[in-house]
Amino acid sequence: MVQDLKYLKETASQTAGPYVHIGLTPNFTGIHGIYAEDMGKTMVNDKTKGERITVTGRVIDGTGTPIRDALLEIWQADADGLYNSHSEVRGEADPNFPGWGRQPTHMDTGVFTFETIKPGVVPFIDGRPQAPHITFWVVARGINIGLHTRMYFPEEEKANEADPILSRIEHRQRVQTLIAKKDGNTYTFDIRLQGEGETVFLDI
């Protein structure tokens, strides 16, 4: 006789839909009065420690077209390599830096922009130092499960060469898809979903 285990079934996934901006960044879409400011918009203030940087770029589909309704979140350590998290046990992170930000791509240009700081070095799970990096999470119409990737800094060549994640990428020419381009204190990081130059995504 077959036993009825009554296991809970996995909830079906669906795309973020065309209304993700309305729900998560209402001020950006012109809907005011819900939040004084969209959550995740501001990452730094005049007391935040560290080097101020701008991170900008586009999310590009398989045809080479920028996606104009994507939403991105970033997570990163502070200037000393500490996370603003209850699970951080190595020290106390900068209280003036949340370590998290959220921005939509602009509906006209497809460009996203984060005003943040350059992160410090954090350890890998085995204790090895990781190169300074920013973790990205991307959602948009047509993406069933949010995509994770990382942005690394081009001036950190030695650290990048020894990074535990970058060193595991089998096809070495694809490492460059995770390295931003630098112009002063601005870093440009385009995320390509498909096709030539497709960004490396992480299964986490």
Residue 2 pLDDT greater than 70, yes or no: no
Give the tens place of pLDDT for each residue, 134-188: 999 999 887 878 999 999 999 999 999 999 999 999 999 999 999 999 999 999 9
Residue 201 pLDDT greater than 90, yes or no: yes
Mean pLDDT value across the chain: 92
Asked if residue 178 belongs to a domain, the reply is yes
- CATH number of the domain where residue 37 is located: 2.60.130.10
Asked if residue 142 belongs to a domain, the reply is yes
- Domain extent, residue 170, equals 20-192
Asked if residue 168 belongs to a domain, the reply is yes
**CA distance to 130, 142, 160, 179, per residue, from 175 (Å):** 15, 25, 10, 7
pLDDT band for position 79 (50/70/90)?
very high
Asked if residue 176 belongs to a domain, the reply is yes
Model confidence, pTM: 0.91
Task: Report the pLDDT averaged over residues 7-27.
Answer: 78
pLDDT of residue 8: 79
Residue 90 pLDDT greater than 80, yes or no: yes
Asked if residue 94 belongs to a domain, the reply is yes
pLDDT of residue 78: 98
Pairing mode of beta strands 147-152, 133-139 = antiparallel
pLDDT of residue 11: 78
As given in the structure block, the two tokens for residue 99 are: 């370590």
Residue 4 pLDDT greater than 80, yes or no: no
**CA distance to 27, 101, 107, 132, per residue, from 117 (Å):** 24, 11, 25, 11
* Contact partners, residue 116, CB within 8 Å, separation at least 6: 43, 44, 52, 53, 54, 55, 74, 76, 101, 134
Rounded Cα gap, residues 80 and 104, in angstroms: 28
Asked if residue 3 belongs to a domain, the reply is no
pLDDT of residue 159: 97
Looking at the 3D structure of the chain, how many domains does it have?
1
Asked if residue 52 belongs to a domain, the reply is yes
Asked if residue 90 belongs to a domain, the reply is yes
